Amino acid sequence: MLIDNFDISKKVFIIAEMSANHGHDITIAKDTIKAAKEAGADAIKLQTYTADTITLDCDNDYFRLNQGTIWDGRTLYDLYKEAYTPWEWHKELLDYAKEIGIICFSSPFDNTAVDLLESLNVPAYKVASFEMTDIPLIEYIASKGKPVIISTGIATLAEIDEAVRACKSVGNDQVILLKCTSAYPAKIEDANLLTMQNLKDTFNVEVGLSDHTLGVTVPIVSVALGAKVIEKHFILDKSIGGPDASFSLDKQEFKLLVDSVRDAENSLGTVNYELTEKKLKSREFSRSLFVVKDMKEGEVFTTENVRSIRPGYGLKPKHIGAVLGKKARMDIAKGTPVGWDIVG
């Protein structure tokens, strides 16, 4: 599957999620895109909503956060008013990303956001965890015929099935499901990365990880379990602050993530039992049969004068049974590798 010109079958697609990490300063936003590129990210992701398109300006108990999050006490409207990326920035940010050579796309949170992003010709769409139960929105996104990356954080298996079916119902099978733990930050022990393979097997789609844990351990492990996409929140400098700063990686941390993921995927390689020249050379240090005491011609090979030891210049140890009881064809000095030429 291609995302823009990136083939995720050949390399893990690493997304730096900017989210709210711009402090409502477009210069910081552009510097963040540049830093993500320099850290090795393949893509930078925005979020496209306003407080009014995503929620209601209301201060009753339904709209005030009180669930043990880092944002408790705030209203949804107040939080999203701080966190949103101004829509008038989008073209400039996408143009800048293209100019410096990093893929840029976004998570739309309603149909008007999809329309904006379509007008800017984004190469893919991301469905956030809390939107994945909005089947009409997913159908509208998928109808644009571009790859749809869906975080599964809050969904049941049945709801994931509905989302995948929604994409396919409009003729789009370019679906990537991301294992996601919707906690901010998330605990490593709640990652449950084995779910990724089950998602792949169950829905016959590519899979990946949207990670909110601290550090880079979980993304690295996900590569070994088949992740084709990894998304992690990215911030230029944590001193910027903001709703997502506490669980975002800075440039140095993100570079460590990228380097570690690349090392992890390189280590997977292919199924290969071929003995390279170096491996063949190393076989010299394996065990083999050696004469361990001086022997006279006609003397019988026994466990006293033949042993399996390193290095590997003699017969393989499995031949010991065929050697014992046979006679030496000649005088043999201690330290001679046993070959069929000396066994009578």
pLDDT tens by residue, 98-132: 999 999 999 999 999 999 999 999 999 999 999 99
Domain parsing of the chain, residue ranges? 8-49+84-268, 277-342
pLDDT tens by residue, 29-51: 999 999 999 999 999 999 999 99
pLDDT at residue 246 tops 90 = no
pLDDT tens by residue, 276-335: 888 888 888 999 999 999 999 999 999 999 999 999 999 999 999 999 999 999 999 999
Query: Given this model, what pLDDT does residue 25 score?
Result: 96
pLDDT tens by residue, 56-84: 999 999 999 887 777 788 999 999 998 99
Assess whether the region 8-49+84-268 and the region 277-342 belong to the same CATH fold. Answer: no
pLDDT tens by residue, 142-178: 999 999 999 998 899 999 999 999 999 999 999 999 9
Query: Given this model, what pLDDT does residue 81 score?
Result: 93
For range 259-279, the mean pLDDT:
91
Which CATH architecture group holds 277-342?
A: Alpha-Beta Complex (3.90)
Asked whether the beta carbons of 280 and 63 are under 8 A apart, the reply is: no
Which homologous superfamily does the CATH classification assign to the domain defined by 8-49+84-268? Aldolase class I (3.20.20.70)
* Helix and strand element counts for the chain (H, E): 12, 12
Alpha helices by DSSP H, the chain = 26-39, 51-54, 76-83, 90-100, 111-119, 135-142, 157-169, 195-203, 217-224, 251-268, 277-282, 320-323
pTM for this entry: 0.87
Q: Rounded to a whole number, what is the largest CA-CA distance in the chain?
A: 102
Q: Torsion angle of alpha carbons 101, 107, 113, 114, nearest 10°? A: 80
pLDDT tens by residue, 197-244: 999 999 999 999 999 888 899 999 999 999 999 999 999 999 888 888
